[in-house]
């Protein structure tokens, strides 16, 4: 049995906000747009030495990732440990076997760090939004999962590969129970898809991102990620209208259940 061959996600050199909404957001189709982060101060000043000097004592959250794979099997989904920028960068530079994956909500980060990033114009005005900093070593893997709102994932430094599956193919990725702490996760690992007969019926897409690239992941699309290099990235979840109400409800449900956000 062979795994399905992914189709490449379309790639654009540029895209206006109107075109983005009309061609990609409304029909719910993934796309990669180049140079979204080109005007950000982060694109030139986010080096490991500079981040360590500027934000050494800044508090961050590390997802546990034994063996380089994010652990989403806990009763509340992913599990986190408190750390600081300096301790995490020291662990990366020392080649720690399991340094974890720095994943920290935007509002928990220093204001001067947040000033290095600009809201992407293509996302327009959002009634609801949330952002996260992602900072992980080469080889880090996030398992297949989906998000309730639309998601724009922007790489600042490094390279990352995403595998995506449409919500129309949800059955083929073996979604976990809605009543579990892993309700947004799937059983299937697309990197081992040849071992799963159900995944053979999926129609995956693949995108490899480099510095400045932004991947639009439509709401409810399944996605799996692997760091091809040490990678710094920021993502932007956003929603309007009924989607904003749904995102708020999903966030509230996670808070009540004590699930990872």
Instruction: Render each residue's pLDDT in the chain as its tens digit; 261 residues.
Output: 678 899 999 999 999 999 999 999 999 999 999 999 999 999 999 999 999 999 999 999 999 999 999 998 876 678 899 999 999 999 999 999 999 999 999 999 999 999 999 999 999 999 999 999 999 999 999 999 999 999 999 999 999 999 999 999 999 999 998 767 788 999 999 998 878 889 999 999 999 999 999 999 999 999 999 999 999 999 999 998 877 777 677 666 556 445 455
Q: CA torsion angle for 3, 209, 144, 76 (degrees, to 10)? A: 160
Helix ranges, 115-261 (H) = 241-257
How far is 184 from 178, CA to CA, in rounded Å?
8
Is 33:216 a contact under the CB 8 Å cutoff?
yes
In contact, 13 and 123? CB cutoff 8 Å: no
pTM score of the predicted model: 0.93
- Among positive and negative, which fits the CA dihedral 247, 221, 23, 261? positive
Structural domains of the chain, ranges and CATH numbers in brackets: 9-169+209-257 (2.60.120.650)
């Amino acid at each position: 049995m062979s795994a399905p061959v992914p189709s490449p996600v379309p790639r654009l050199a540029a895209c206006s906000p109107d075109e983005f909404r009309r061609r990609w957001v409304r029909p719910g189709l993934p796309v990669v747009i180049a140079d979204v982060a080109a005007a950000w101060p982060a694109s030139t000043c986010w080096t490991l030495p500079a981040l360590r000097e500027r934000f050494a004592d800044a508090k961050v959250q590390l997802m546990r990732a034994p063996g380089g794979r994010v652990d989403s099997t806990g009763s509340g989904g992913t599990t986190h440990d408190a750390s600081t920028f300096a301790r995490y960068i020291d662990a990366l530079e020392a080649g720690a076997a399991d340094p974890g994956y720095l994943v920290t909500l935007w509002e928990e980060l220093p204001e001067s760090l947040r000033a290095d990033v600009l809201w992407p114009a293509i996302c327009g005005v959002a009634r609801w939004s949330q952002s996260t900093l992602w900072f992980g070593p080469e080889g880090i893997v996030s398992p297949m999962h989906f998000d309730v709102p639309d998601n724009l994932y922007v790489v600042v430094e490094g390279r990352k590969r995403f595998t995506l599956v449409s919500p129309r193919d949800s059955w083929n990725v073996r979604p976990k129970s809605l009543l579990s702490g892993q309700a947004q996760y799937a059983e299937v690992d697309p990197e081992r898809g040849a071992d799963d007969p159900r995944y053979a019926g999926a129609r995956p897409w693949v995108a490899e991102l480099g510095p400045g690239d932004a991947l639009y992941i439509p709401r409810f699309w399944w996605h799996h990620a692997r760091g091809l290099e040490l990678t710094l990235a920021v993502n932007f979840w956003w929603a309007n209208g009924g989607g904003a109400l749904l995102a708020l409800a999903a966030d509230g449900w996670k808070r009540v259940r004590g699930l990872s956000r």
